[in-house]
Amino acid sequence: MKISFLIHNAYGIGGTITTTFNLARSLAERHEVEIVSTFRHRERPALTPDPRVRLRPLVDLRHEKDDPAQLLPSRVFPAAERRYPQYSELTDRRIGDFLRTTDADVVVGTRPGLNVHLALQAPRRIVRVGQEHLTLDHHSPRLRTVLRRVYPELDVLTTVTEADAAAYRRKTRLPGVRVEALPNSVPDPVLPPADGTGRLVVAAGRLVHVKRYDLLIRAFATVAAAHPDWRLRVYGTGEERDRLRALIEELGLYDHVFLMGAAIPMEAEWVKGSIGAVTSDFEPFGMTIVEAMRCGLPVVSTDCPHGPAEIIKDGEDGRLVPVGDRDALAATLLELVRDDETRRRMGRAALANSRRFAPGPVVEQAERLFADALAAKTAGPDARGPEPVDHPLVSRGHAARDIALTAAGALLRTVRKVRR
């Protein structure tokens, strides 16, 4: 098979980029694989793609950000999608041209807006796979309305958790679309796992509010007071850095908590620690949980929707605590800090249990999904309607209709309130 991944910007840093590169690398062992990046903003990607995987951009922002078509709004990418301001008439045209001319057997979209492009613009000879890296419930009502209307044109929809797959099956009507959970994978570690002797708690991810590093820092203040030889290292960059730095100073933790910046790859940093920590209000999967566990760390995580509870076996290879509960988080960290044997036992269990997220099992599942859908395509004509004949016309005004429907819904709700 030839498999193409359509991604927002493969030249940045993020969970979707990481898992796409991981899956592409593993698939390239047996298939022809490419990553098509809608945008490019730098010479080289932050992550290094496998040399067998072709990487190509559609719009190079270094040279085309002032292109007249880039200054006109998109008519395909849904206006309710968070990335809508970055999309344009130029991206409509480049994505449409790619989909119309590709010789790929399977094209995989990696965010809702790109899945909409795939559903509206891809020829029916292509297996159209939409990936969901967030969750259905996390999307706004406006975006959910668009997805319900457009996603029936896909062949396969994958989510990263069983809980989200169940939500799509229960809350959307997608006749003929195969909906299945396909977890993210993490490559096999190349370094020896952590031995549980380091007096170090490690966290990693974007420094944004939803990750709640402020909660972790406040909880760790309790740990540092009782065990001043322990340290917390937080890896990542983002808009919260200055606020977190001020909080560290305010709590007098400048000798105990360190904002380390970005580290690529993270494996060498995980194995230095003894406990991983995730304190998010929301984690659609929990890539850093798997990364830490694959390096032999038990992870203390908030029990937020949806990923952590599907990854961590509470009390066996990590611990789950209520979302936003600083006291529970501090107490759980203290339990593992004080109990060397339990911490090491959980670390060994984390190493063993996390093997289900190794590339092998995940790639086998992806291959089966793609092959089944391709076999169904080649067995007979697609019964779900004619080919799109002119992709700009098929999608003309799609984003505008999205805005109009939202405005009409808001007006209707206002009328109902007045009547009550």
**Whole-number pLDDT of residue 97:** 97
Task: Tell me the torsion sign for CA atoms 236, 238, 244, 246.
Answer: positive
pLDDT in the model for residue 265: 85
Maximum C-alpha span of the chain: 69
H or E element: which one contains 15? helix 15-27
State which CATH number among 3.40.1710.10, 1.10.10.10, 3.40.50.150, 3.40.50.2000 fits the domain covering 2-185+360-411.
3.40.50.2000
Would you give the DSSP letter of residue 395? Answer: T
Domain ranges of the chain: 2-185+360-411, 200-356
Whether 362 and 184 have beta carbons less than 8 Å apart is answered as: yes
Q: Tokens standing for 25?
A: 């690398």
Torsion angle of the four alpha carbons 280, 281, 283, 287, in this order, in degrees rounded to the nearest 10 = 0
Q: For the chain, what percentages of helix, strand and coil (3-state, to nearest 5) are there?
A: 45, 15, 35
Candidates 3.40.640.10, 3.40.50.2000, 3.40.50.2020, 3.30.450.20; CATH matching 200-356: 3.40.50.2000
Give the pTM. 0.84
| Domain 200-356 in the same topology as domain 2-185+360-411 | yes
Structure tokens given for 86: 């970055």
Residue type, 75: R
Can you tell me whether residue 178 is helix, strand or coil? strand
Question: Residue 219 is encoded by which pair of tokens?
Answer: 């909880």
10-residue mean pLDDT series, the chain (420 residues): 97 90 95 98 91 97 94 96 96 97 97 97 96 94 96 97 95 94 91 94 96 98 98 96 98 97 92 97 93 97 93 97 98 97 97 94 95 88 49 45 49 44
